[in-house]
Amino acid sequence: MKERYDVIVVGAGPGGSMTAKTAAKEGLDVLLIEKRQQIGDPVRCAEGVNKVYLKEYIEPDPAWISAEVKGSKVYSPDGTMVEMSEELSGAEVGYVLERKVFDRALAREAALAGVEVMVKTRATGLLMEDGFVKGIKAEYMGKQYEIMADIVVGADGIESKVGRWAGIDTTLKPRDMCTCAQYLMTNIDIDPDFCKFYLGNKIAPVGYVWIFPKGRNTANVGIGITGHMSGEVRALELLDEFINKHYPDGKKIEMVVGGVPVCGSIARTVSNGLMLVGDAARQSDPVTGGGIFNSMWAGDIAGKVAANAIRRSDVSAESLQEYEKKWRVELGRDLDMGMVVKERFTRMTDDELNTLAHSLEGVDLGSTTLIGLVWALFKANKKLLWDLRSIFIGIKEIESEVKKEVYT
Protein backbone atom coordinates (compact mmCIF):
# COMPACT_ATOMS: atom_id res chain seq x y z
CA MET A 1 0.00 0.00 0.00
CA LYS A 2 1.22 3.47 -0.89
CA GLU A 3 0.57 6.74 0.92
CA ARG A 4 -1.41 8.21 -1.93
CA TYR A 5 -3.30 7.26 -5.09
CA ASP A 6 -5.20 9.10 -7.76
CA VAL A 7 -8.36 7.21 -6.88
CA ILE A 8 -9.43 5.01 -3.97
CA VAL A 9 -12.49 2.83 -4.54
CA VAL A 10 -14.22 1.53 -1.42
CA GLY A 11 -15.95 -1.80 -2.03
CA ALA A 12 -15.13 -4.54 -4.55
CA GLY A 13 -18.57 -5.49 -5.81
CA PRO A 14 -19.39 -5.15 -9.53
CA GLY A 15 -19.68 -1.35 -9.27
CA GLY A 16 -16.40 -0.87 -7.42
CA SER A 17 -14.35 -3.25 -9.54
CA MET A 18 -15.71 -1.71 -12.72
CA THR A 19 -14.91 1.82 -11.53
CA ALA A 20 -11.39 0.75 -10.55
CA LYS A 21 -10.75 -1.10 -13.79
CA THR A 22 -11.93 1.76 -16.00
CA ALA A 23 -9.96 4.34 -13.99
CA ALA A 24 -6.80 2.22 -14.26
CA LYS A 25 -7.28 1.78 -17.99
CA GLU A 26 -7.50 5.56 -18.24
CA GLY A 27 -4.02 5.65 -16.75
CA LEU A 28 -4.85 6.44 -13.13
CA ASP A 29 -3.17 5.00 -10.05
CA VAL A 30 -5.99 3.17 -8.28
CA LEU A 31 -6.49 1.39 -4.95
CA LEU A 32 -9.55 -0.88 -4.53
CA ILE A 33 -10.36 -1.93 -0.97
CA GLU A 34 -12.80 -4.59 0.22
CA LYS A 35 -13.68 -5.02 3.87
CA ARG A 36 -14.36 -8.73 3.57
CA GLN A 37 -11.55 -11.19 3.33
CA GLN A 38 -13.22 -12.78 0.30
CA ILE A 39 -14.47 -10.73 -2.62
CA GLY A 40 -17.91 -11.94 -3.70
CA ASP A 41 -18.67 -13.95 -0.59
CA PRO A 42 -21.07 -14.12 1.18
CA VAL A 43 -23.48 -13.48 -1.67
CA ARG A 44 -26.27 -10.96 -1.13
CA CYS A 45 -28.01 -11.28 -4.46
CA ALA A 46 -30.54 -13.28 -6.49
CA GLU A 47 -27.87 -13.35 -9.23
CA GLY A 48 -30.03 -12.58 -12.24
CA VAL A 49 -28.75 -10.20 -14.92
CA ASN A 50 -29.61 -9.29 -18.49
CA LYS A 51 -27.00 -10.93 -20.70
CA VAL A 52 -27.23 -8.49 -23.60
CA TYR A 53 -26.37 -5.59 -21.33
CA LEU A 54 -23.72 -7.51 -19.42
CA LYS A 55 -21.82 -8.47 -22.56
CA GLU A 56 -21.04 -4.81 -23.13
CA TYR A 57 -18.72 -4.90 -20.14
CA ILE A 58 -17.33 -8.39 -19.74
CA GLU A 59 -16.71 -11.38 -21.98
CA PRO A 60 -19.10 -14.14 -20.81
CA ASP A 61 -17.28 -16.98 -19.06
CA PRO A 62 -18.93 -20.31 -18.21
CA ALA A 63 -17.03 -20.18 -14.90
CA TRP A 64 -19.49 -17.60 -13.56
CA ILE A 65 -22.66 -18.45 -15.50
CA SER A 66 -24.85 -20.83 -13.53
CA ALA A 67 -27.69 -20.84 -16.01
CA GLU A 68 -29.02 -19.12 -19.07
CA VAL A 69 -32.74 -18.50 -19.32
CA LYS A 70 -35.13 -17.61 -22.17
CA GLY A 71 -37.47 -15.38 -20.25
CA SER A 72 -39.64 -15.09 -17.20
CA LYS A 73 -42.95 -16.45 -15.96
CA VAL A 74 -44.89 -14.22 -13.64
CA TYR A 75 -47.63 -15.76 -11.46
CA SER A 76 -50.50 -13.69 -10.12
CA PRO A 77 -51.99 -14.55 -6.70
CA ASP A 78 -54.59 -16.94 -8.22
CA GLY A 79 -51.86 -18.74 -10.18
CA THR A 80 -52.46 -17.15 -13.59
CA MET A 81 -49.19 -17.20 -15.47
CA VAL A 82 -47.88 -14.49 -17.76
CA GLU A 83 -44.87 -15.44 -19.83
CA MET A 84 -42.42 -12.80 -20.93
CA SER A 85 -39.51 -12.99 -23.32
CA GLU A 86 -36.03 -12.11 -22.20
CA GLU A 87 -36.25 -8.75 -23.97
CA LEU A 88 -39.35 -7.77 -22.02
CA SER A 89 -38.14 -9.18 -18.72
CA GLY A 90 -35.75 -6.37 -17.98
CA ALA A 91 -32.34 -6.04 -16.47
CA GLU A 92 -32.35 -9.05 -14.18
CA VAL A 93 -33.30 -11.86 -16.55
CA GLY A 94 -30.90 -13.62 -18.94
CA TYR A 95 -28.00 -15.12 -17.06
CA VAL A 96 -28.14 -16.45 -13.54
CA LEU A 97 -24.66 -15.78 -12.25
CA GLU A 98 -22.39 -17.41 -9.73
CA ARG A 99 -21.63 -14.14 -7.96
CA LYS A 100 -18.82 -15.60 -5.87
CA VAL A 101 -16.92 -16.30 -9.08
CA PHE A 102 -18.23 -13.32 -11.04
CA ASP A 103 -17.21 -10.71 -8.49
CA ARG A 104 -13.74 -12.22 -8.28
CA ALA A 105 -13.45 -12.24 -12.06
CA LEU A 106 -14.26 -8.53 -12.14
CA ALA A 107 -11.80 -7.78 -9.34
CA ARG A 108 -9.19 -9.80 -11.20
CA GLU A 109 -9.79 -7.80 -14.35
CA ALA A 110 -9.31 -4.63 -12.33
CA ALA A 111 -6.13 -6.02 -10.82
CA LEU A 112 -4.79 -7.01 -14.23
CA ALA A 113 -5.52 -3.49 -15.48
CA GLY A 114 -3.12 -2.23 -12.82
CA VAL A 115 -5.36 -1.64 -9.81
CA GLU A 116 -3.91 -2.37 -6.39
CA VAL A 117 -6.41 -4.50 -4.45
CA MET A 118 -6.62 -4.91 -0.69
CA VAL A 119 -9.02 -7.30 1.03
CA LYS A 120 -9.96 -7.38 4.71
CA THR A 121 -9.48 -3.62 4.62
CA ARG A 122 -12.29 -1.45 5.94
CA ALA A 123 -12.76 2.28 5.43
CA THR A 124 -13.44 3.87 8.81
CA GLY A 125 -13.73 7.49 7.75
CA LEU A 126 -12.72 10.14 5.24
CA LEU A 127 -9.75 12.52 5.28
CA MET A 128 -11.19 15.99 4.77
CA GLU A 129 -9.46 19.28 4.00
CA ASP A 130 -11.12 22.60 3.10
CA GLY A 131 -14.38 20.85 2.32
CA PHE A 132 -12.70 18.35 0.00
CA VAL A 133 -12.41 14.61 0.44
CA LYS A 134 -8.67 13.94 0.41
CA GLY A 135 -8.52 10.23 1.13
CA ILE A 136 -9.68 7.62 3.59
CA LYS A 137 -8.97 6.30 7.03
CA ALA A 138 -8.75 2.55 6.88
CA GLU A 139 -8.27 -0.43 9.12
CA TYR A 140 -6.31 -3.50 8.10
CA MET A 141 -5.39 -6.35 10.39
CA GLY A 142 -5.93 -4.28 13.52
CA LYS A 143 -3.88 -1.29 12.34
CA GLN A 144 -5.13 2.14 11.30
CA TYR A 145 -3.94 3.82 8.11
CA GLU A 146 -4.48 7.15 6.38
CA ILE A 147 -4.38 6.90 2.61
CA MET A 148 -4.55 9.98 0.41
CA ALA A 149 -6.35 10.26 -2.93
CA ASP A 150 -7.61 12.94 -5.29
CA ILE A 151 -10.92 11.14 -5.61
CA VAL A 152 -12.65 8.62 -3.37
CA VAL A 153 -15.40 6.47 -4.89
CA GLY A 154 -17.91 4.96 -2.47
CA ALA A 155 -19.07 1.65 -3.91
CA ASP A 156 -19.75 0.32 -0.45
CA GLY A 157 -23.15 -1.18 -1.04
CA ILE A 158 -26.47 -0.85 0.72
CA GLU A 159 -24.75 -0.27 4.06
CA SER A 160 -22.74 2.61 2.54
CA LYS A 161 -21.06 4.98 4.95
CA VAL A 162 -18.83 6.84 2.50
CA GLY A 163 -21.67 9.07 1.28
CA ARG A 164 -22.81 9.87 4.80
CA TRP A 165 -19.29 10.79 5.85
CA ALA A 166 -19.18 13.27 2.98
CA GLY A 167 -22.51 14.81 3.97
CA ILE A 168 -24.74 12.98 1.49
CA ASP A 169 -27.67 11.48 3.37
CA THR A 170 -28.21 8.02 1.93
CA THR A 171 -30.29 6.72 4.83
CA LEU A 172 -33.15 4.60 3.52
CA LYS A 173 -36.66 4.73 4.88
CA PRO A 174 -38.23 1.31 5.46
CA ARG A 175 -40.51 1.73 2.44
CA ASP A 176 -37.50 2.59 0.32
CA MET A 177 -35.70 -0.68 0.89
CA CYS A 178 -36.52 -4.28 0.24
CA THR A 179 -35.65 -6.81 2.93
CA CYS A 180 -34.80 -10.16 1.38
CA ALA A 181 -34.05 -13.79 2.15
CA GLN A 182 -33.06 -16.58 -0.20
CA TYR A 183 -32.02 -20.19 -0.18
CA LEU A 184 -29.98 -21.96 -2.79
CA MET A 185 -32.17 -25.03 -3.06
CA THR A 186 -31.64 -28.36 -4.68
CA ASN A 187 -33.74 -31.49 -5.20
CA ILE A 188 -36.52 -29.31 -6.55
CA ASP A 189 -38.46 -29.55 -9.78
CA ILE A 190 -37.77 -26.38 -11.73
CA ASP A 191 -38.13 -25.07 -15.24
CA PRO A 192 -34.50 -24.53 -16.26
CA ASP A 193 -35.41 -22.09 -19.04
CA PHE A 194 -37.33 -19.51 -17.05
CA CYS A 195 -36.97 -17.21 -14.09
CA LYS A 196 -40.21 -17.31 -12.12
CA PHE A 197 -41.84 -14.57 -10.09
CA TYR A 198 -44.77 -15.03 -7.69
CA LEU A 199 -46.84 -11.99 -6.77
CA GLY A 200 -49.41 -11.56 -4.04
CA ASN A 201 -49.88 -9.75 -0.79
CA LYS A 202 -50.18 -13.00 1.15
CA ILE A 203 -47.12 -14.59 -0.48
CA ALA A 204 -44.91 -11.52 -0.35
CA PRO A 205 -46.51 -8.29 0.91
CA VAL A 206 -45.41 -5.46 -1.38
CA GLY A 207 -42.77 -7.66 -2.94
CA TYR A 208 -42.34 -10.95 -4.73
CA VAL A 209 -40.93 -14.44 -4.55
CA TRP A 210 -38.36 -15.36 -7.19
CA ILE A 211 -37.06 -18.66 -8.48
CA PHE A 212 -33.90 -18.30 -10.54
CA PRO A 213 -32.58 -21.57 -11.99
CA LYS A 214 -28.98 -22.51 -11.24
CA GLY A 215 -28.57 -25.81 -13.01
CA ARG A 216 -30.26 -29.18 -12.72
CA ASN A 217 -32.89 -29.33 -9.95
CA THR A 218 -31.26 -26.31 -8.34
CA ALA A 219 -32.35 -22.69 -7.99
CA ASN A 220 -32.16 -19.53 -5.95
CA VAL A 221 -35.53 -19.40 -4.22
CA GLY A 222 -35.93 -16.05 -2.56
CA ILE A 223 -38.28 -13.38 -1.34
CA GLY A 224 -38.18 -9.63 -1.02
CA ILE A 225 -40.72 -7.54 0.86
CA THR A 226 -40.72 -3.79 1.30
CA GLY A 227 -39.26 -2.75 4.65
CA HIS A 228 -42.44 -1.17 5.99
CA MET A 229 -44.24 -4.53 5.66
CA SER A 230 -41.60 -6.25 7.77
CA GLY A 231 -41.78 -6.66 11.54
CA GLU A 232 -44.85 -8.72 12.37
CA VAL A 233 -43.73 -11.15 9.69
CA ARG A 234 -40.26 -11.33 8.24
CA ALA A 235 -38.80 -12.19 4.87
CA LEU A 236 -37.28 -15.43 6.11
CA GLU A 237 -40.51 -16.71 7.70
CA LEU A 238 -42.53 -15.92 4.57
CA LEU A 239 -39.94 -17.68 2.44
CA ASP A 240 -40.11 -20.78 4.64
CA GLU A 241 -43.90 -20.74 4.28
CA PHE A 242 -43.63 -20.56 0.50
CA ILE A 243 -41.08 -23.35 0.38
CA ASN A 244 -43.07 -25.64 2.68
CA LYS A 245 -45.99 -25.27 0.33
CA HIS A 246 -44.21 -25.44 -3.04
CA TYR A 247 -41.05 -27.42 -2.39
CA PRO A 248 -41.61 -29.67 0.64
CA ASP A 249 -38.86 -32.04 -0.54
CA GLY A 250 -36.40 -29.30 -1.44
CA LYS A 251 -33.06 -29.12 0.31
CA LYS A 252 -31.49 -25.86 1.35
CA ILE A 253 -27.78 -25.73 0.67
CA GLU A 254 -27.13 -22.05 1.27
CA MET A 255 -28.88 -19.18 3.05
CA VAL A 256 -28.61 -15.63 1.76
CA VAL A 257 -30.06 -12.47 3.32
CA GLY A 258 -29.81 -8.87 2.33
CA GLY A 259 -31.35 -5.51 1.68
CA VAL A 260 -31.90 -3.77 -1.65
CA PRO A 261 -32.42 -0.03 -2.14
CA VAL A 262 -35.72 0.62 -3.98
CA CYS A 263 -35.86 4.36 -3.40
CA GLY A 264 -35.31 5.67 -6.93
CA SER A 265 -32.68 8.27 -7.70
CA ILE A 266 -31.31 10.22 -4.74
CA ALA A 267 -30.66 13.97 -4.77
CA ARG A 268 -26.87 13.89 -5.00
CA THR A 269 -24.15 11.33 -5.67
CA VAL A 270 -21.07 13.58 -5.87
CA SER A 271 -19.25 15.88 -3.51
CA ASN A 272 -15.84 17.57 -3.59
CA GLY A 273 -13.45 14.70 -4.35
CA LEU A 274 -16.13 12.04 -4.06
CA MET A 275 -18.50 9.93 -6.16
CA LEU A 276 -20.96 7.20 -5.19
CA VAL A 277 -21.60 4.15 -7.37
CA GLY A 278 -24.06 1.23 -7.37
CA ASP A 279 -26.15 0.37 -4.32
CA ALA A 280 -24.23 3.05 -2.39
CA ALA A 281 -25.69 5.57 -4.88
CA ARG A 282 -29.07 3.79 -4.67
CA GLN A 283 -28.89 3.00 -8.39
CA SER A 284 -30.71 -0.36 -8.18
CA ASP A 285 -34.02 -0.77 -10.01
CA PRO A 286 -36.88 0.15 -7.66
CA VAL A 287 -39.25 -2.38 -9.23
CA THR A 288 -37.12 -5.49 -9.64
CA GLY A 289 -34.32 -4.68 -7.22
CA GLY A 290 -31.83 -5.61 -9.96
CA GLY A 291 -28.58 -3.69 -9.68
CA ILE A 292 -25.64 -5.63 -11.11
CA PHE A 293 -25.67 -4.06 -14.53
CA ASN A 294 -26.64 -0.60 -13.27
CA SER A 295 -23.65 -0.62 -10.93
CA MET A 296 -21.22 -1.72 -13.63
CA TRP A 297 -22.55 0.81 -16.09
CA ALA A 298 -22.34 3.64 -13.56
CA GLY A 299 -18.91 2.43 -12.39
CA ASP A 300 -17.58 2.62 -15.92
CA ILE A 301 -18.79 6.21 -16.20
CA ALA A 302 -17.33 7.08 -12.78
CA GLY A 303 -13.94 5.68 -13.82
CA LYS A 304 -13.88 7.80 -16.96
CA VAL A 305 -15.09 10.92 -15.17
CA ALA A 306 -12.41 10.45 -12.51
CA ALA A 307 -9.79 10.45 -15.23
CA ASN A 308 -11.24 13.55 -16.91
CA ALA A 309 -11.45 15.42 -13.61
CA ILE A 310 -7.90 14.58 -12.63
CA ARG A 311 -6.63 15.59 -16.08
CA ARG A 312 -8.20 19.00 -15.71
CA SER A 313 -6.89 19.19 -12.11
CA ASP A 314 -10.36 19.85 -10.82
CA VAL A 315 -12.02 17.27 -8.59
CA SER A 316 -14.62 19.65 -7.16
CA ALA A 317 -18.27 18.65 -6.98
CA GLU A 318 -18.84 20.94 -9.93
CA SER A 319 -16.29 19.09 -12.04
CA LEU A 320 -17.69 15.72 -10.97
CA GLN A 321 -21.14 16.83 -12.11
CA GLU A 322 -20.07 15.18 -15.34
CA TYR A 323 -20.74 11.84 -13.62
CA GLU A 324 -23.95 13.03 -12.01
CA LYS A 325 -25.30 14.29 -15.32
CA LYS A 326 -24.26 11.28 -17.38
CA TRP A 327 -25.79 8.65 -15.14
CA ARG A 328 -28.98 10.59 -14.60
CA VAL A 329 -29.71 11.12 -18.29
CA GLU A 330 -30.23 7.39 -18.87
CA LEU A 331 -30.34 5.44 -15.65
CA GLY A 332 -31.81 8.23 -13.54
CA ARG A 333 -34.75 8.43 -15.89
CA ASP A 334 -35.26 4.64 -15.70
CA LEU A 335 -35.18 4.75 -11.90
CA ASP A 336 -37.72 7.56 -11.83
CA MET A 337 -40.04 5.69 -14.21
CA GLY A 338 -39.54 2.62 -12.05
CA MET A 339 -40.71 4.58 -9.04
CA VAL A 340 -43.94 5.49 -10.82
CA VAL A 341 -44.55 1.83 -11.61
CA LYS A 342 -43.56 0.74 -8.11
CA GLU A 343 -45.83 3.26 -6.39
CA ARG A 344 -48.77 2.11 -8.51
CA PHE A 345 -48.12 -1.61 -8.14
CA THR A 346 -47.58 -1.49 -4.41
CA ARG A 347 -51.15 -0.22 -4.06
CA MET A 348 -52.63 -3.14 -5.98
CA THR A 349 -54.79 -5.69 -4.23
CA ASP A 350 -54.54 -9.38 -5.06
CA ASP A 351 -57.79 -9.09 -7.03
CA GLU A 352 -56.34 -6.30 -9.12
CA LEU A 353 -53.19 -8.29 -9.76
CA ASN A 354 -55.34 -11.23 -10.89
CA THR A 355 -57.39 -9.02 -13.21
CA LEU A 356 -54.19 -7.70 -14.71
CA ALA A 357 -52.83 -11.20 -15.28
CA HIS A 358 -56.14 -12.37 -16.81
CA SER A 359 -56.00 -9.47 -19.27
CA LEU A 360 -52.66 -10.77 -20.52
CA GLU A 361 -53.71 -14.39 -20.82
CA GLY A 362 -53.46 -15.54 -24.39
CA VAL A 363 -51.26 -12.63 -25.43
CA ASP A 364 -48.06 -14.01 -26.87
CA LEU A 365 -45.58 -11.91 -24.98
CA GLY A 366 -42.76 -14.00 -26.37
CA SER A 367 -43.00 -12.14 -29.64
CA THR A 368 -44.68 -8.89 -28.76
CA THR A 369 -42.99 -5.52 -28.57
CA LEU A 370 -43.20 -3.18 -25.63
CA ILE A 371 -45.95 -1.33 -27.44
CA GLY A 372 -47.82 -4.58 -28.03
CA LEU A 373 -47.59 -5.36 -24.34
CA VAL A 374 -48.81 -1.94 -23.32
CA TRP A 375 -51.66 -2.20 -25.80
CA ALA A 376 -52.75 -5.57 -24.42
CA LEU A 377 -52.64 -4.18 -20.92
CA PHE A 378 -54.45 -1.10 -22.01
CA LYS A 379 -57.48 -2.80 -23.45
CA ALA A 380 -58.28 -4.30 -20.07
CA ASN A 381 -56.84 -1.76 -17.66
CA LYS A 382 -57.35 1.79 -18.85
CA LYS A 383 -57.21 3.17 -15.36
CA LEU A 384 -53.89 1.51 -14.67
CA LEU A 385 -52.35 2.77 -17.86
CA TRP A 386 -53.60 6.26 -17.12
CA ASP A 387 -51.92 6.11 -13.72
CA LEU A 388 -48.72 5.03 -15.39
CA ARG A 389 -48.91 7.49 -18.28
CA SER A 390 -45.93 9.55 -17.17
CA ILE A 391 -43.54 6.68 -17.89
CA PHE A 392 -44.56 6.63 -21.54
CA ILE A 393 -43.75 10.26 -22.16
CA GLY A 394 -41.43 10.35 -25.11
CA ILE A 395 -42.62 7.04 -26.55
CA LYS A 396 -44.76 8.69 -29.20
CA GLU A 397 -46.87 5.75 -30.32
CA ILE A 398 -47.94 4.94 -26.79
CA GLU A 399 -48.37 8.52 -25.69
CA SER A 400 -50.78 9.29 -28.52
CA GLU A 401 -52.73 6.04 -28.04
CA VAL A 402 -53.12 6.76 -24.33
CA LYS A 403 -54.42 10.25 -25.05
CA LYS A 404 -56.74 9.07 -27.81
CA GLU A 405 -58.21 6.31 -25.66
CA VAL A 406 -58.66 8.40 -22.55
CA TYR A 407 -60.17 11.46 -24.15
CA THR A 408 -62.61 9.67 -26.42
Partner 1 sequence: MTVSVERSKCGYCGACVSVCPTGALELMETWIEVSESCNDCRICVKICPVGALEVCR
Which residue ranges make up the site for partner 1 (CB under 8 A)? 35-37, 42, 44, 120, 122, 157-161, 164, 170-174, 177, 179-181, 227, 230-231, 234-236, 255-259, 261
Angle between helix 14-25 and 99-112 (nearest 10)? 20
Alpha-carbon dihedral 365, 366, 371, 374, rounded to 10 degrees: 20
* Distances, alpha carbon 243 to alpha carbons 182, 216, 223, 237, in Å: 11, 18, 11, 10
Give me the least distance between CB of 35 and partner 1, in Å please.
Answer: 6
Q: Which is nearer to partner 1, 162 or 385 (CB)?
A: 162
Give me the least distance between CB of 106 and partner 1, in Å please.
Answer: 20
Give me the least distance between CB of 366 and partner 1, in Å please.
Answer: 34
Q: Which is nearer to partner 1, 94 or 224 (CB)?
A: 224
List the beta bridge partners of residue 314: none
Q: Where are the beta strands (DSSP E) in 130-269?
A: 132-140, 143-154, 177-186, 194-199, 207-213, 219-226, 251-261
The DSSP 8-state label assigned to residue 131 in this structure reads T
Give me the least distance between CB of 236 and partner 1, in Å please.
Answer: 5
Give me the least distance between CB of 280 and partner 1, in Å please.
Answer: 10
Give me the least distance between CB of 341 and partner 1, in Å please.
Answer: 22
d(CA 152, CA 370): 40
Q: Which is nearer to partner 1, 56 or 254 (CB)?
A: 254
Q: Which is nearer to partner 1, 157 or 290 (CB)?
A: 157
Compute the residue count for the chain. Answer: 408
* Distances, alpha carbon 236 to alpha carbons 158, 203, 258, in Å: 19, 12, 11
Q: Which is nearer to partner 1, 94 or 163 (CB)?
A: 163
Q: Which is nearer to partner 1, 89 or 226 (CB)?
A: 226
d(CA 319, CA 296): 21
Q: Is the dihedral of CA 74, 345, 325, 298 positive or negative?
A: negative
Q: Which is nearer to partner 1, 84 or 235 (CB)?
A: 235
Q: Please list, in sequence order, all residues whose beta carbon lies within 8 angstroms of the beta carbon of residue 347, skipping any fewer than 6 positions away.
A: none
Give me the least distance between CB of 224 and partner 1, in Å please.
Answer: 9
Burial of 103 (C-beta count, 10 Å sphere; 0-12/13-18/19+):
buried
d(CA 194, CA 312): 48
Do 80 and 358 touch, CB atoms closer than 8 A? Answer: yes
Q: Which is nearer to partner 1, 22 or 121 (CB)?
A: 121
Give me the least distance between CB of 281 and partner 1, in Å please.
Answer: 13
Q: Which is nearer to partner 1, 165 or 327 (CB)?
A: 165
d(CA 294, CA 299): 8
Q: Which is nearer to partner 1, 169 or 249 (CB)?
A: 169
Cross-sheet strand order for the sheet of 219-226: 81-85, 71-75, 194-199, 207-213, 219-226, 177-186, 251-261
Give me the least distance between CB of 230 and partner 1, in Å please.
Answer: 5
Q: Which is nearer to partner 1, 105 or 172 (CB)?
A: 172
The DSSP 8-state label assigned to residue 193 in this structure reads T
Give me the least distance between CB of 228 and partner 1, in Å please.
Answer: 8
Give me the least distance between CB of 119 and partner 1, in Å please.
Answer: 10
Burial of 17 (C-beta count, 10 Å sphere; 0-12/13-18/19+):
buried
